[in-house]
Amino acid sequence: MRSLILFFSHFPPEIDTFFLAMVPVAEIRLSLPVAIFRYHLPAWEAIVWSVAGNMIPTTLILLFGERFHRWVEKRSGFFFGKAWARHLASIQKSFAKYEKYGLIGLFLFIAISLPGTGSYTAAIAAFLLGIPVNKSWPYVLAGVVASAMVITSVTVGLDKLF
């Protein structure tokens, strides 16, 4: 993670925060503490840049996931295309147990702010569950904002402890 932070450190702090929020797995869990502790950005500004940076790739996944899926099926050849379809079907089957929670589940999945529960994973889950973009996007955004609030609270709280 240190090399990732150093890589982006050539940019102004706001842009660095924006780009760090785009990094899969790290997402807001990395960008907010770096913005607050390293760059000393005000919490509100760190939240704005982090949420904006995190929502760009998430929105792209939601908008183009289905098209990418069809493109891979068409262009990949018979064997890979079949394997791709089987793989997605198995993933959809494993996510089916969460379908009963619907959009609230999508929101909570992001808001709990644990590793592996970010907006990227939620956007892919929304695609796999067949939730339309116009329905899933507001819940993903709300989940990202809630996650940012949780991470900011923990970050500022840790700062006060030490």
**For 112-159, how does the pLDDT look when each residue is reduced to its tens digit (9 = 90+)?**
888 878 898 888 888 888 888 999 999 999 999 999 999 999 998 866
Distances (CA, A) of 41 to 22, 47, 144: 18, 10, 19
Domain boundaries, the chain: 2-161
Q: pTM of the predicted model, to two decimals? A: 0.82
Q: 51, exposed or middle or buried, with CB in 10 Å at 0-12, 13-18, 19+? A: buried
10-19, 21-30, 76-85, 140-149: lowest mean pLDDT where?
A: 76-85
**For 141-151, how does the pLDDT look when each residue is reduced to its tens digit (9 = 90+)?**
999 999 999 99
Note whether 85 and 73 are within 8 A (CB): yes
Closest of 144, 71, 82, 76 to residue 109, by C-alpha: 144
Q: Where are the beta strands (DSSP E) in 2-69?
A: none
